[in-house]
Amino acid sequence: MIYDLIIIGGSAAATTAGIYAARRKLNFKIITKDFGGEVATSGEIGNWPGISEIDGFTLSQQFRDHLRYYDIEPEEGVEVEKITRQADGLFCVLAKTNHQSETAKDRLPNGYDGSPICSYLTKTIIIATGVHPRTLNIPGEKEFRGRGVSYCTVCDGPLFAGKTVAVIGGGNSALESALMLSEMTPKVYIINIMPNFTGDEILAQKLSEKKNVEAIFSADTKEIYGNGTAKGLRYLDKAGQTREIETDGVFIHIGMVPNSQLVSGEVKKNNLGEISTDKNCATNIPGLFAAGDVADTPYKQIVIAAGMGCTALLSAVDYLNKLK
């Protein structure tokens, strides 16, 4: 089968593109490794229009419900390895599946060994794969991941109820993490390499009102240590002295890395690895579009990602109309 469109991703940009694609009666499919993306792991969300306050998991469920209203079921468990453009102008999406996607597995040939195959042929593609957490790359981080080290407070925060925890970072994600943890733990350290928070002032103000939260600025985290599980961390203070904090959990929120590795070197990216797009969300490859946090938009916001998903879809429709 040759699709009009393949949407790669499973969050705000992909959902919006999918809704508009359904309303335009395109022959399309949404494929994603897992649905929800970083939205599903977000804490309190207070800037989604029409809803004063909602959590990320609930909002991602609403995304899924909206797609189902149009009889769209994203194909999950699909990991795109590579996208190639054929001589005839069609795109070939090479992908492999995991055990989460029975529908995807059913399409595979007998004897499939798990290597990438040309799973989808399509006239256009919208890449809306978002981002993944940036790591500190310090001793103990990898060793204790899942055993005290986490990048998702929404997912793992409740596991540390009643314990001492530390949050590393100073942006909105770190501030939201510390606020969430302050409601379930007796002591929260927030360790920021910068001299001030870089997140929204309203979040910083809320955090300053929490008596069980201690902010440590100009602190460069160097090591996470433990015995089987994380037990503490070491950092350099602004004077260059090594300090220690005993903590049962370390939540790392220091930024995101774009999930853009699936496109070839022919696709232009900026120095951050974000896919370069024009005002129509078009890349330098005709028929290939990018939307949301994986693109080089200067502001990473859910509402912006949704708008870009709409723009990318309408641009894809214009491209398809010209093909006809």
Q: Do residues 120 and 47 share a domain? A: yes
Q: Do residues 148 and 240 share a domain? A: yes
- Number of domains the chain is built from: 2
Q: Do residues 127 and 8 share a domain? A: yes
Q: Do residues 247 and 311 share a domain? A: no
Percent of the chain at pLDDT exceeding 90: 78
Mean pLDDT of the chain: 92
- Position 99 scores a pLDDT of 46
Residue 114 has phi, psi (to 5 degrees) of 90, -5
Q: Do residues 113 and 175 share a domain? A: no
| Residue 155's CATH number | 3.50.50.60
CB-based contacts of 169: which residues, under 8 Å, 6+ apart? Answer: 177, 190, 191, 192, 252, 253, 254, 255
Given phi > 0 = left and psi -120 to 50 = alpha, else beta, which region is 64?
alpha
Q: Which domain holds residue 148?
A: 135-252
Q: Which of 237, 252, 267 is at the close of a domain?
A: 252
Confidence band for 110, pLDDT divided at 50, 70 and 90: low
Q: Do residues 161 and 243 share a domain? A: yes
Q: Do residues 21 and 126 share a domain? A: yes
Q: Which of 205, 232, 252 is at the close of a domain?
A: 252
Q: Do residues 9 and 58 share a domain? A: yes
Q: Which of 236, 252, 268 is at the close of a domain?
A: 252
Give pTM, 2 decimals. 0.78
More confident site: 248 or 103:
248
Given phi > 0 = left and psi -120 to 50 = alpha, else beta, which region is 93?
beta
